[in-house]
């Protein structure tokens, strides 16, 4: 057996956690990374103030994202049901848009979360966010309870569980 093949098998057997695969976010059960992401005015928002202290809903989105638009009614309904038992954040990706474009969008469209603008892609990298419409739900212990993408994803059961007293 060639040495590199042996190394591969050994590492696989040891269930080594190494690089995150692309187009795939962190695993359910993993601890949610704590990052700081600016708001639309550039003021840093420390997600560490929320993660591990209360349930958190995160969605990476963009003004040009059709799947995000399709998902928006579900997020609105979820926020209306869950209220402030979960902290809701919408993280804009700084790809192919600007804070000004997001502001113009928000003038016309009500969103059910605090809007952040990840100018440097810090949260995108930390969460290996694979696409816009990517949702991560974190329980009150700071562990990831759900990840998904798409305009028709059903995150509500997971959100209800983490929001339960």
Partner 1 sequence: MRVSPVLLLLAGAAAPVVAQESKPVKTPTVVLVSGPQVGHTAPDFTLAWANKDGVGPADNPYQLWRDRGKTVVLAFYPKDFTSGCTAEMQTFADQYDTLFGPDVIVVGINADSVDTHQRFAAKLGLPFRLLTDPDLKVARTYGSYDSSGRPRRTVFVVAPDGRVHYRNSKFNPMDPKDYSALGAAVREARGS
What residues make contact with partner 1 under the rule CB under 8 A?
Answer: 4, 8, 11-12, 15-25, 27-30, 60, 62, 64-68, 93-96, 119-121, 124-125, 128-133, 137, 145-150, 153-155, 157-158, 161
CB atoms within 10 A of CB 29: 9
Shortest separation between residue 70's beta carbon and partner 1, angstroms: 10
Angle subtended by helix axes 66-82 and 156-163, to nearest 10: 30
Distance in angstroms (rounded) separating the CA atoms of residues 31 and 52: 9
Is the Cβ of residue 66 or residue 81 nearer to partner 1 in the bound state? 66
Shortest separation between residue 36's beta carbon and partner 1, angstroms: 16
Is the Cβ of residue 5 or residue 80 nearer to partner 1 in the bound state? 5
Distance in angstroms (rounded) separating the CA atoms of residues 108 and 104: 7
CB atoms within 10 A of CB 99: 17
Distance in angstroms (rounded) separating the CA atoms of residues 35 and 31: 12
Shortest separation between residue 35's beta carbon and partner 1, angstroms: 13
Is the Cβ of residue 65 or residue 102 nearer to partner 1 in the bound state? 65
Is the Cβ of residue 30 or residue 106 nearer to partner 1 in the bound state? 30
């Amino acid at each position: 057996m060639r040495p590199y093949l042996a190394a591969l098998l050994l590492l696989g057997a040891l269930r080594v956690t190494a690089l995150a695969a692309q187009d795939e976010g962190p695993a359910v059960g993993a601890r949610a990374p704590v990052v700081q992401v600016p708001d639309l005015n550039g003021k840093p928002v420390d997600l560490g103030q929320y993660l591990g202290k209360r349930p958190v809903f995160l969605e990476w989105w963009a003004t040009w994202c059709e799947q995000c638009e399709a998902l928006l009614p579900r997020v609105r309904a979820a926020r209306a049901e869950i209220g402030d038992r979960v902290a809701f954040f919408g993280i804009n990706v700084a790809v192919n848009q600007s804070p000004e474009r997001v502001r113009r969008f928000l003038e016309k469209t009500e969103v059910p979360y605090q809007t952040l603008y990840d100018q440097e892609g810090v949260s995108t990298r930390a969460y290996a966010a694979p696409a816009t419409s990517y949702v991560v739900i974190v329980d009150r212990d700071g562990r990831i309870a759900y990840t998904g993408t798409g305009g028709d994803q059903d995150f509500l059961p997971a959100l209800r569980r983490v929001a339960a007293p």
